Amino acid sequence: MEEAKLERSGLVLWTDGLRKDDEWVGCALVWEEGGRWNKRRTHLGRQKEAFDAEMYAMSEAMNIADEKAEKEKFTRVMVFTDSQATLRRIQSDEPGPGQVLALRTMNWTDALARKNIQVEY
């Protein structure tokens, strides 16, 4: 909560993914706009791991940033995640787990960079 209360410039998104004991998998993102918290939640069904949910959340965060960049003026996007594996995965387009979502994330990050928007994870 302390981190969420800090004043930061630009768009700030918080991501998380999880896999419950009953095997249901999902993720969520939150961001503040005009003093109001917004959210996007996605249920990913079963047969996936927590890593898949974390990767999907990161990909969706960059999707939201790209959508907002079309309408709003900001020069910085910060994405907070507790998944070190996701941060490592989005640095490479090598084949492996989460490759499609890593590529989606990287493509949106590149699109934002072309708009002179800095992305920090």
Mind listing the pLDDT tens digit for each residue in 55-114?
Answer: 999 999 999 999 999 899 899 999 999 999 999 999 988 999 999 999 999 999 999 999
Question: What per-residue confidence (pLDDT) applies to 7?
Answer: 66
Question: What per-residue confidence (pLDDT) applies to 48?
Answer: 92
> How much is the pTM?
0.89
Mind listing the pLDDT tens digit for each residue in 97-106?
Answer: 999 999 999 9
Mean pLDDT of 28-45: 93
Count of domains in the chain?
Answer: 1
Q: CATH number of the domain that 18 lies in?
A: 3.30.420.10
Compute the CA torsion angle 60, 10, 36, 57 (nearest 10 deg).
Answer: 20
> What is the span of the domain harbouring residue 50?
2-120
Q: Coil, helix or strand for 15? A: strand
Q: Coil, helix or strand for 121? A: coil
